[in-house]
Amino acid sequence: MQRFSASCVTVILFAVSFACSAGPRAEDGGNGAAEQGLFLSTPRKLLPFVVMESGRVLASGGHDGSRTLGSCEVFEPETGRWRETGALRTRRRNHAAVRLTDGRVLVMGGSNGLAMGALADAEVYAPDTGTWTEVRPMGVARNDPAAVLLADGRVLVAGGTDVDQRPLRSAELFDPATGMWSAASPPGFSRGGAQTAVVLANGKALFVSGLQAELYDPVTGLWEKAGLTGGAAGTHRLAHSVTLLPDGRVLVVGGTTARAAATAEVYSPETGVWTLVGAPKVPREHHATVVLPDGAVLMMGGEHYTTGALASVERFDLKTETWSSAPALDEPREKLGALALGDGAVLVMGGGNEAAGMLSESERYVPDACVVAPCAARELGGAEAVMELSVAGQVE
């Protein structure tokens, strides 16, 4: 049997430790994201990122740190590159976006940056032509509304703030077949916030923001309270995440209050009850969450007043309902977007931090691997290097 000297073991441990550290930056001359096409043509935040039917990702509008954007880009998974596509008819940020059943993408509301107001305008993106077409405007101008695609193909948009930044307690329905909006029954509480609503297996839409969560029933057209005021954590939530789990429950984590930032809770549609689960290791807001193929949830980036922008990543286990630390992002990011790709990797994009400002570089995050690609793993030899590093990270 072969024997290794203490010095050899030390060298091996050092090599593994180095492999699991952050890889070189593109500006340092490494084979980084610039050569892989992972740069957005324009850095952006305050926008929704939408996965289209082909697996491509649409980035529409947003804010580059100094102005509101009308430009749009599409990420092509096959090439691993962003490319420009048709611009919005109306530049906007803090808008909502929903992929329709026919593959088109509806965007609505937001603000155009000319004033601190709100937009009623709506438009539809056609992936086959890469162009936008205006549709009828909403009945109410809404900045930062919440929107979902219902099972019958209609789009429900609720809440947001009006032109005077007052919270809205109203809702509307968009019918893609007619291109028309119609008033829906109003929720009992003001709603709003990007990605703060999900559609449950029973067809009802759960909206979670503020102090009281609510359910919208598309059959009756009525709203009802979803659990106790404040949920299990007993707190107001803003800048949090709302994630539909594979088992049908809903995970809510983070927010702007000290209590919200440090807690996570799960809603059960079967019982209508909120339950506290394991607390995240790092309190945060303005983060992103992604459901992995194995059912686990990654919570990525964000910010907190005690730390600033975060590179921290945590993994939520559905069985134990606890969080564990995962390899960090290459750059701290707040107000970021993150979406799962078909190959099991996660595309992390947009946002910024205090040191670098707005970030145009995206990251291809490989769950459970030692590095965020493209960095050290790709520099060491592409797919084979990723496999080797995965062994060090104890990935099957």
Note the pLDDT of residue 342. Answer: 87
Whether the Cβ atoms of residue 142 and residue 157 lie closer than 8 Å to each other: yes
- Report the amino acid identity of residue 334: E
Note the pLDDT of residue 374. Answer: 42
Residue with tokens 């960090």: 328
Q: How far apart are CA 247 and CA 233, in angstroms?
A: 21
Selected residue with higher pLDDT from 1 and 356? 356
Note the pLDDT of residue 37. Answer: 59
Q: How far apart are CA 277 and CA 70, in angstroms?
A: 40
Note the pLDDT of residue 352. Answer: 96
Cα four-point dihedral sign 326, 289, 95, 78: positive
> What would the mean pLDDT of 365-384 be, rounded to a whole number?
49
Confidence of residue 54 (pLDDT cuts 50, 70, 90): confident
Whether the Cβ atoms of residue 148 and residue 159 lie closer than 8 Å to each other: no
pLDDT in tens, 279-295: 999 999 999 999 999 99
Question: Radius of gyration of the chain from Cα atoms?
Answer: 21
pLDDT in tens, 74-109: 999 999 999 999 999 999 999 999 999 999 999 999
- CATH, domain range 242-369: 2.120.10.80
Residue with tokens 């072969």: 2
Does 392 have pLDDT greater than 60? Answer: no
Average pLDDT, the chain: 86
Note the pLDDT of residue 13. Answer: 36
pLDDT in tens, 292-318: 999 999 999 999 999 999 999 999 999
Note the pLDDT of residue 172. Answer: 98
- Report the amino acid identity of residue 24: P
Rounded to two decimals, the pTM is 0.85
Closest CA to 100 of 175, 207, 164: 175
Note the pLDDT of residue 113. Answer: 79
pLDDT in tens, 155-206: 999 999 999 999 999 999 999 999 999 999 999 999 888 889 999 999 999 9
Note the pLDDT of residue 357. Answer: 96
